[in-house]
Amino acid sequence: MYNGNSMKDIKKYEQTYLEHYGFEKYQVQYRRKKVLECLTNYQPQSILEVGCGLEPIFEFFDDYQQFHVVEPAPIFFESAREKAQGRPHIVVHHGFLEKLQAELAPEKFDMIIVSGLLHEFSEPVNFLQIINSLCKSHTIVHINVPNAQSIHRLLAVKMGITTSIFENSQLAQSLQIYKAYTLDTLVALVQKNSFEVLDKGTYFIKPFTHHQMEQMLTHKIIDMKVLDALYEATEFFPEFGSEVYINIRKTLQN
């Protein structure tokens, strides 16, 4: 994970994330599945991953020539650096993207992965501008974020637990999550910041909260076969997956 706030916040975030990993490990699995599908589709040879968390993408994908990781959280950085040892084509940078912008600028990335991150910014515009500055004309940027129209959020409103699909849970607030996006609001944000959308969608239907999903797995009410089917179920409910993704490219000036 990345989180573009102070190092004090990073340490708090890191601790909270590890304490509440729970069902998130499954959410990470399906988030990564979507990222890997995009990598396979676009076949980038030079990749930048901004915020790698516990499991950097280079552990699961090896069809590239150069891979850079930016990670400010000390535990996640050290873990990624250890996993990259003996692999000179992987470079792991410790710090925030804005501090590493000049160092990364000469690179010609084919794809920049911004996975599970953008919603952690209270003001995402500056971050998107930095991402844009690192893009060449061909660079694809993959972004995914939680979906405000996820079925579990819609149910929470109908049950009276929350008053709006945009209201964050206490856990989300402790993880410094500032904003929930719909597909439309995410598209509008990137278009206002000089990107064009190549493809978009949602993935992994999650009917209930992380805690409820974890309890159902623990008590064997559901299993991985059910989760895999829920990933595919956005075929029938295309707007209501638990997370939104878009692949974008910088808008070329006329």
pLDDT tens-digit series, residues 172-197: 544 445 578 999 999 999 999 999 99
Kindly state the tokens that stand for 36: 């890997």
Nearest to 115 by CA among 144, 140, 95: 144
**C-alpha–C-alpha distance, residues 30 and 72, integer Å:** 24
pTM listed for this prediction: 0.89
Kindly state the tokens that stand for 13: 């975030």
pLDDT at 29 over 60: yes
pLDDT at 18 over 70: no
Domains delineated in the chain: 7-250 (3.40.50.150)
pLDDT tens-digit series, residues 91-139: 999 999 999 999 999 999 999 999 999 998 888 999 999 999 999 999 9
Decide: 50 and 247 in contact? Cβ < 8 Å: no
Decide: 1 and 177 in contact? Cβ < 8 Å: no
**Per-residue pLDDT at 180:** 85
**C-alpha–C-alpha distance, residues 207 and 152, integer Å:** 5
**Per-residue pLDDT at 100:** 97
